Amino acid sequence: MSQENLLEIKELTKYFKVKKEKLTAVDNISLSIKKGQCLGIVGESGCGKSTLVKMIVGSLKPSGGTIRLEGIEYLNLKGKEKRDFWRNIQMVFQDPISSFPPRMKIGNYLAEPRLNYDKIKKKDAISQAKELLEMVGLKKDFINRYPHELSGGQLQRVAIARAISVSPKLLICDEATGALDVTIQNKIVELIDKLIHKEKISCIFIGHDLAVVGSISDNVAVMYLGRIVEYMNSQMLEKNPLHPYTKALREAAFDVYCNQEDELKVLEGDPPSPLNIGEGCAFAKRCSFAKEQCFKERPQLKEVEKGHFVACFI
Ligand SMILES: Nc1ncnc2c1ncn2[C@@H]1O[C@H](COP(=O)(O)OP(=O)(O)OP(=O)(O)O)[C@@H](O)[C@H]1O
């Protein structure tokens, strides 16, 4: 294990049994995240993003492969070690309101993780809650409010504050801005960006919008039907994406990368069923460059320049 890597995922796979058939949701994925870096994961609905995250946070058991944080295969931990471990990985979800207990004041909600993990005094936890609120750009007196008294964007700030309250090593944002309108979305992305750098937290930022994901991430993995089809840093994503699928996503993300006057190109067709991916490249049927080989053989992820990996024969 490299000294610098915080998270290492090796050959991770998840199958589901659907009516006696095997559905491949995550197919042999290997990834690593360095300390303090943000990895973006992008792909259309159904490509396996949530399944991948559920395995990282221990809510789904992998069918194969390993996940290590600082070298520890943490999914096998038991008892106190397991309890203590989980503060290291915190999540922010898409829908802020559903993750809040409606009758719990914001102050108590923010104080709860420190009370549980560190057994600090309630008075100290509430005072830290006020600091956390200020850190995420909210007023201290929000501690006395209930979730329904806050907007979606404000609630998402509180969710982020709670996630960082226990000084995690890895913050996972699963479509964390997806339910917010665009101006609020940008502010939340800026906030996450500022906090992960200030607190030196590594981050996995998941979304279906390449522009949003690219704007916060150091490296981006593009997923298609359970596999990574391209992995590169955000400069390569902006200047030289190579996989036809990444290019199509990039063109669709016109607001950041393209001239707003350009015609918006939409990716046509649906991905094939994960029950029946077939032999060839899973993207071949939607790819305007596909040649005979693409329908017969599965392209493997290969390094084409330093740090830039692509699974494509073209
Ligand atoms: N519990 C399950 N049982 C059977 N199939 C599942 C299960 N969970 C997910 N899947 C299937 O696995 C594939 C990947 O789903 P997943 O939710 O990981 O995709 P996603 O990229 O997160 O999509 P979205 O952006 O819509 O959340 C899909 O085909 C989905 O239908």
pLDDT digits (tens, 9 = 90+) for 191-243: 899 888 888 899 999 988 888 899 999 999 999 999 999 999 999 998 899 99
CATH number, domain 32-60+76-219, options 3.90.1580.10, 1.20.120.400, 3.40.50.300, 3.40.50.720: 3.40.50.300
CA-nearest residue for atom 12, ligand 1, is 25
Q: Tell me the one-letter amino acid at 132.
A: L
Distance (angstroms) between ligand 1 centre and the Cα of 126 equals 38
Q: CA-to-CA distance for 46 and 70, rounded, in angstroms? A: 29
**Looking at the predicted structure, is the pLDDT value of residue 93 above 80?**
yes
Mutate to test the pocket of ligand 1, among 24, 29, 45, 51 (most ligand atoms within 8 A of CB): 51
Q: How many CB atoms lie within 10 A of CB 26?
A: 30
Tell which atom from ligand 1 comes closest to the C-alpha of 48: 18
**25 CA → ligand 1 middle, Å:** 6
Sign of CA dihedral 88, 26, 60, 2: negative
What beta strand segments (E) does the chain contain?
A: 5-18, 21-34, 38-42, 64-69, 89-92, 170-174, 202-207, 219-224, 227-233, 302-305, 308-310
CA of 255 to the centre of ligand 1 (A): 28
Written as one letter, the residue type at 182 is V
Measured CA to CA in angstroms, residue 13 lies from 66, 68, 76, 99 at distances of 9, 15, 17, 28
Average pLDDT of 86-98? Answer: 88
CA–centroid distance, residue 258 to ligand 1 (Å): 30
Residue 208 has a pLDDT of 82
Beta-bridge partners for 42: 207, 222
Distance CA 43, CA 39 (A): 13
Name the pLDDT band for 98 (thresholds 50, 70, 90).
confident
**Closest to 12 in 3D by CA, of 65, 86, 52, 89:** 65
Q: Is 214 in the pocket of ligand 1 (CB under 6 A)?
A: no
Atom 30 (ligand 1) nearest CA: 46
Residue ranges of the domains in the chain? 32-60+76-219, 235-314
Could you read off the pLDDT of 20-77 as tens digits, one per residue? 888 999 999 999 999 999 999 999 888 999 999 999 999 999 999 999 999 999 999 9
Mean pLDDT of the chain: 89
Residue 45: the pLDDT is: 87
Q: Cα of 179 to ligand 1 centre, how many Å? A: 19
In this prediction, residue 1 carries a pLDDT of 46
| Closest atom of ligand 1 relative to the 226 alpha carbon | 14
pLDDT at 31: 94
Please check the confidence at residue 4 and state whether its pLDDT lies above 90.
Answer: no
CB 55 within 8 A of CB 74: no
Q: Is 46 in the pocket of ligand 1 (CB under 6 A)?
A: yes
What pLDDT shows up at residue 178?
77
Cα-to-centroid distance, 26 and ligand 1 (Å)? 9
Phi/psi for 232 (5° steps) reads -160, 170
Is residue 255 over pLDDT 80? Answer: no
Whether 124 shows a pLDDT value over 80: the answer reads yes
More confident residue, 226 or 256: 226
HEC letters along 79-102: HHHHHHHHHHEEEECCCCHHHCCC
Give the pLDDT band of residue 254 (cuts 50, 70, 90). low
Token digits of residue 29: 């994925």
User: Are residues 247 and 263 in contact, defined by beta-carbon separation less than 8 angstroms?
Assistant: no
> What residues contact residue 146 under an 8 Å CB cut-off, 6+ apart?
102, 103, 104, 105, 106
What does the pLDDT look like over 257-313, one tens digit per residue?
Answer: 555 444 444 566 677 777 877 788 989 888 888 889 999 999 999 999 999 999 999
Q: Is the CB of 42 under 6 A from ligand 1?
A: no
Model confidence at 143, in pLDDT bands (50, 70, 90)? very high
pLDDT reported for residue 264: 41
pLDDT at 272: 72
pLDDT at 263: 44
Ligand 1 centroid to residue 11 C-alpha, Å: 18
